Amino acid sequence: MSDSPRFLDIKRLYHAAVELPPPERAAFLDQACANDQALRLEVESLLQRKWNLCCNTTGPATATFSITRP
């Protein structure tokens, strides 16, 4: 299993930025991705509110599946 260092950077920056109050994220990313605009765009895309609405990480997370007969 060989992980992508790039992806692990994205994950690390996401973790760091998501812990910050939203107004402080831009400045953090300015510094962390100074020379890498693509990296910044990727992290910013993940930080969008619509992907982060429900952040309950403790509850049960079992997949529920449905069988539908039209």
Binding site for other proteins (CB under 8 A): 1, 3-4, 7-8, 11, 14-15, 18, 45-46, 50-58, 60-70
Contact 35, 5 (CB under 8 A): no
What are residue 8's phi and psi, to 5 degrees? -65, -30
**Comparison of 39 and 46: residue with beta carbon closer to other proteins:** 46
**Comparison of 31 and 61: residue with beta carbon closer to other proteins:** 61
**Comparison of 30 and 45: residue with beta carbon closer to other proteins:** 45
- Listed residue (45, 5, 9, 8) closest to 25, CA to CA: 45
